[in-house]
A and B are shown apart, each in its own frame.
Chain A
Amino acid sequence: MNYIRTEICPGVKLTCVNSDKHKTDVMFINFILPLTAVGATSLTLLSKVLVRGTASYPDFRALATACEDNYSCGIDVFTVKKGETLTLSFSVSCLKNKYALNGEDIFTQSLRILGEIIFSPYMPGGCFFNDYVNREKDAMREQILSLANNKPAYAMRRAISLMCGNEPYAIPAYGDLDTLEKLDNERLTQIFKTVTASSPVEIIFTGDYEIAPLIEKINYCLPFSQRKYALPGVLVAEKAAEIKTYTEKADASQSTLVLGFRTGGKPAEEDFTAFTVFNEIYAQSPISKLYMNVRERLSLCYYCNSLSDRLKGIMTVSAGIDGNTYAKAKKAILKELEAVKKGNITDNEYKSAVRSAVSAYREIDDLPGQICSYYFSRIIQGGIFTPEEEIERLNALTVEQVVNTANNITLDTVFLLEGMLE
């Protein structure tokens, strides 16, 4: 899967993956910032206020109708946390022009609407409309409070926050209530202007357009100005200092166990590959050690899987369990990690893990959204490799490298969200 990378103007980079195999054109635009509490809260609020109205479509209904009338082009504004980087991201996904019923130019109209959202939001008197800001503050407050409704997701965020303490990574992507209360329309407008004028921008596109006509369309609809380009750094702990253990009670019928691990210092590119295979063997694949043992052999849970942020060097394993089996489940999860560390990996486990990882890379170009996410992840990690290059690396990997990677992993935090015990 080939890509072309260029700079539209200083600080605004474009990655274009030309593909005619899908029904949709997709573009992601990411403004990149370091992760801070003020940033997380204000960018989340911005993501809501920006879709309330633009200069030409001044209210929610006008904007939603414009999108629907343009063959339901999907425009989303959201934030993404990767390592200690936060982005204000815009995505547009639209039906290709060739499927239009009356010959409309769906793509250009989608970029026009997106351009309005980013560069001409509804600002009567030079500021965001106060009613919109206040209503979205109310909505965001409710959303932050309702995050606790989903117990497994709550347990995961709580574990990360306890594990990372004072590190910026402890800041949740959606921000916090204290910062939210202090934001008003003037402050938000100021932050918005700074972000859109000076944060580095990465644009990723996949669809029918070649690079030259694409740049022309972007320049026409999205008037970016020049800015400095530097990606934020990240604090990475080599290993856990000590094992911290926490328990919280919850009004739930199931308990959620989360184990937080440090995966080693700032990794080299080959270590990313080795970690991918380690993770398949340990937790990700349908025959992973956790699935086959903690679920299938010991019947301790329905799900037991891992999430990792490789930029930050963190992995979490979580499982929904009967609270009475807490000690047994924790022991079983750690026992399987020890097995990988000791090199107890069968030939089948290793081959299956590599195949599974190879398949995942091969399948990226089947979905346009996946293509954009893949390239953006690689850019943030600091080195772009195509899926084909990743596959070459996987094929060159050895079991020893996987075992070495496993041996860099240390347990940092054990968190139990304890539901009602029977």
Chain B
Amino acid sequence: MVTQVEICEKQSSRTGEKYTKILFDNGLTAFIIHKNHTSAYATLAVNFGSCDTKYASADGKIKSFPPGTAHFLEHRMFETKEGDAMERYALFGGDANAYTAGDRTCYYYISSDMFYENLRVLIDHVTNAHITKKSVEKEKAVIIQEIKMYDDNPYWVVRYNMMKCLYGESPISEDPAGSVESVKNISREILEDCRRTVYNLHNMALCVCGNIETDSFIAQVNDLFSAAPEAEYWRVDDIPDAKIVSAYFQEHMDVSLPVYSVGIKLCAPSETEGTKEFAAVEIIMNLLFGKSAAFYSENYEAGIFERLSCGYQTMRKAFFAEIYGSARNPAVLFDKVKEHIKKVKAVGFDARDFETAKKSLYADTICEYDSVENIADTFVSYYFENDDMFDYPDIVANITLEYTEECLKRLFDCDNICLSVILPKKEEHS
């Protein structure tokens, strides 16, 4: 039996959205995001993803987990002494699943009925999974098929190759599922050790989103967790080098047209203004390469690319922007990308284009609040980075052209860009 020690509420005057934060004295932090939706979503998120392979204790002991451990563990966390948790969810109409990202593992369900029955199942299997040697061995064949499915996907392969150019052989650029070889070497002992080290309430967050009343939530959740001991090991983040490892990588696959991914390595996000920098980078990428940019229409019209999308990603200490798609000659496009960045760094953005891009991002940010899944998932990813999703619409609404141009000059370096391509097999022999 635990009791809550602190409750606080926050409401955004801009969006009207409201959440309640509850700190339990066993170390767990929970959030209720109040929505008037029919369905409710719950995620029990662990601040541990596929990049997090190294942990250290206060007295300097180090534990390292092989690539693919976080993902393998996620697959087996549904096994309990009472049987497969999926069958219990199904009885209560809960649609459950889990995923492993670079920086978190999330177990979740969505339900339109029996919310608390499903919540009990979620908390039980994530905190009391029963992993057997036999099930670990059997799961290897399933995970190997998963890896092979992604290995056949050129868009997936080209992206991880790009990340290898940026970060080298780092867990950041490793496929979250690991490799066929690394998976074969994962044992029940490794999984159990990892779980004991990392799956600690102090390192997790429970985030629910829907029509959920705070008092009954606290009453229901109070007796579901037992008090957790303090963690003994702490995550050691891989600090990427400032410079890229390689500027080019190519591979041949069965594709009709070359597939490319351009990676722009940005320096580690600022500790204090991370979210504001993300907003600036999102606006910068849209202004440089988005569909309303002159670059896009001119080069599309000239046949320089067939498809082009852009975005950015952060993962622990990694921060990069990307441009990806298909093109007849990606090297030509790559040169144009570099030239374009150089040019805009020198002349800056058009003020009206900036206002348009800002309005567009602002609207996208508010529309995020239509889906209970999106809200809860995005909320925990912000929380684990010590940010608050509810602040983002205001940050975007207040961002200035001067700040955005300053970020462009400071973060984008044309010597820190790489190109990864997948070429058709027939070109391999010609």
Known: A149-B259, A419-B152. A99 touches B326 (CB 8 A): no
Contact (A286, B369) CB under 8 Å given A21-B36, A142-B256: no
Q: Which of B91-107 contact A (CB under 8 A)?
A: 91-93, 95-97
Given A59-B297, A69-B359, the answer on whether A287 and B151 have CB atoms closer than 8 Å is: no
CB pair B256 A145 closer than 8 Å: yes
In the bound complex, how far is the Cα of B149 from the Cα of A359, in angstroms? 30
Check A348 for interface membership: any CB of B closer than 8 A.
yes
Q: State whether the Cβ of B386 lies closer than 8 Å to any Cβ in chain A.
A: no
**Cβ of A64 < 8 Å from any Cβ of B?**
yes
Q: Which of B145, B362, B371, B425 contacts A322 (CB 8 A)?
A: B145
Q: Which residues of A contact B38 (CB under 8 A)?
A: 362-363, 365-366
Q: Once the chains are docked, how many angstroms separate the CA of A12 from the CA of B393?
A: 39
B-contacting 9-mer, from A193-201, A220-228, A295-303, A330-338: A295-303
- Contact of B243 with A by CB under 8 A: no
Q: Verify B367–A95 contact, CB threshold 8 A.
A: yes
Tell yes or no: A4 within 8 A of B by CB: no
Whether B294 is near chain A, meaning CB under 8 Å from some CB there, is yes
Interface size class, chain B: 35 or more
Q: Scoring A residues 299 to 328 as 1 if CB is less than 8 Å from chain B, else 0, what string do you get?
A: 111110000000000000000111000000
List B contacts of A302 (CB < 8 A).
142-143, 145-146, 149
Q: Across the interface, do A348 and B372 meet the contact criterion of CB distance under 8 Å?
A: no
CB pair B296–A61 under 8 Å, yes or no, is: yes
- Residue B50 at the A interface, CB < 8 A? no
CA distance A22 to B36 in the complex (A): 10
Pick from B15, B113, B363: contact of A71, CB under 8 Å: B363
Per the bound structure, the CA–CA distance linking A349 and B178 in Å amounts to 34
Taking a contact as CB atoms closer than 8 A, the residue among A69, A286, A348, A367 that contacts B356 in the complex is A69
Q: Is B413 an interface residue (CB 8 A)?
A: no
What 0/1 pattern do residues 231 to 246 of A give for CB contact below 8 A with B? 0000000000000000
| Chain A interface (Cβ < 8 Å from any Cβ of B) | 21-24, 59-61, 64-65, 67-69, 71-73, 93-95, 99, 101, 131, 135, 138-139, 142-143, 145-146, 148-152, 250-254, 285-287, 292, 295-296, 299-303, 320-322, 348, 351-352, 355-356, 358-359, 362-363, 365-368, 419
A-B contact pairs, 16 of them (CB 8 A): A23-B15, A60-B300, A64-B290, A69-B356, A72-B359, A250-B254, A253-B148, A285-B90, A286-B95, A287-B87, A299-B139, A300-B141, A301-B142, A320-B148, A322-B141, A359-B95
Residues on B lying within 8 angstroms of A by beta carbon are 14-15, 36-39, 84, 86-87, 89-93, 95-97, 110-113, 138-143, 145-146, 148-149, 151-155, 253-257, 259, 290-294, 296-297, 300-301, 303, 306, 326, 353, 356-357, 359-364, 366-367, 369-372, 397, 425
